């Protein structure tokens, strides 16, 4: 069939609800060349992305364009940003920590086995790695040292969660009252 003579598809029925997805990041102008592996918003409102094979990109959302990029590493299979978007961690058989703004490698920590899960706490001072042999390791990123290794799982670790500790308001009030009495 000749495309110029093809009849147009019928228009979709109007919806009373707006679409949940406003922009897809594989559609121009936000074109990724590989699989997206991690995303994080920067403090200035721009968006950082990591795509296979280790390409770090910064996107200006208002201008709908890429504003910078850094080729980091093709070896890692896991990538995650710190909560503040300043540090990027990547892992395979070693843990690498990157400065997001400059794209510079900050530290490399050898791992006891293949890393299958990765999580950062807050500013990335503490990093957790899950491994194919069931181990979970906690790392002090500032001092490049392993703090603890937990071996309570028989199978590989598939996910880690860094949960922010909630303050117990009742306990805090009790402590304040005790301090005031002193």
Q: Where are the domains of the chain?
A: 36-162
Q: What is the reported pLDDT for 1? A: 42
User: What's the token pair of residue 11?
Assistant: 């228009």
Q: What is the reported pLDDT for 3? A: 38
* Contact predicate 80/119, CB 8 Å: yes
User: What's the token pair of residue 176?
Assistant: 């304040």
Q: What is the reported pLDDT for 48? A: 93
* Contact predicate 117/158, CB 8 Å: yes
Distance between CA 74 and CA 67 in Å, rounded?
A: 21
**What are the two backbone dihedrals, phi and then psi, of residue 174, each rounded to the nearest 5 degrees?**
-60, -40
Q: What is the reported pLDDT for 90? A: 93
Q: What is the reported pLDDT for 94? A: 92
Q: Does the global pTM surpass 0.85?
A: no
Strand, helix or coil for residue 8: coil
Residue indicated by tokens 């364009």: 65
67-37-85 Cα angle (round to 5): 55
Task: Write the CB contacts of 106 (distance below 8 Å, at least 6 apart in sequence).
Answer: 87, 97, 98, 99
Q: What does the pLDDT profile of the chain (182 residues) look like in tens digits?
A: 433 333 333 444 555 655 554 555 555 666 777 888 899 998 888 999 999 888 999 998 888 888 989 999 888 889 999 888 889 999 999 999 999 999 999 999 999 899 999 988 876 678 999 999 899 989 988 888 889 988 888 787 777 776 666 666 666 666 666 666 65
Strand, helix or coil for residue 99: strand
Instruction: Judge: domain 36-162, CATH 3.40.190.10.
Output: no
**What DSSP character marks residue 105?**
E
Rg (CA), the chain: 22
């Amino acid at each position: 069939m000749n495309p110029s003579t093809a009849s147009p598809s019928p228009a979709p029925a109007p919806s009373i609800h707006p679409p949940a997805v406003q922009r897809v990041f594989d559609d121009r102008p936000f074109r990724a060349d590989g699989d997206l592996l991690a995303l994080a918003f920067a403090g200035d409102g721009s968006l950082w992305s990591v795509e296979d094979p280790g390409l770090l990109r910064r996107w200006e959302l208002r201008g709908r364009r890429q504003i910078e990029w850094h080729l980091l590493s093709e070896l890692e299979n896991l990538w995650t940003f710190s909560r503040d978007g300043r540090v990027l961690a990547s892992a395979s058989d070693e843990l690498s920590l990157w400065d997001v703004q400059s794209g510079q490698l900050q530290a490399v920590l050898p791992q006891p086995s293949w890393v299958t899960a990765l999580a950062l706490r807050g500013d990335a001072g503490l990093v957790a790695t899950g491994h194919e042999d069931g181990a979970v390791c906690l790392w002090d990123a500032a001092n490049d040292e392993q703090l603890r290794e937990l071996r309570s799982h028989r199978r590989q670790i598939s996910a880690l969660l860094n949960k922010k500790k909630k303050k117990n308001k009742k306990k805090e009030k009790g402590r304040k009252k005790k301090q005031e009495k002193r």
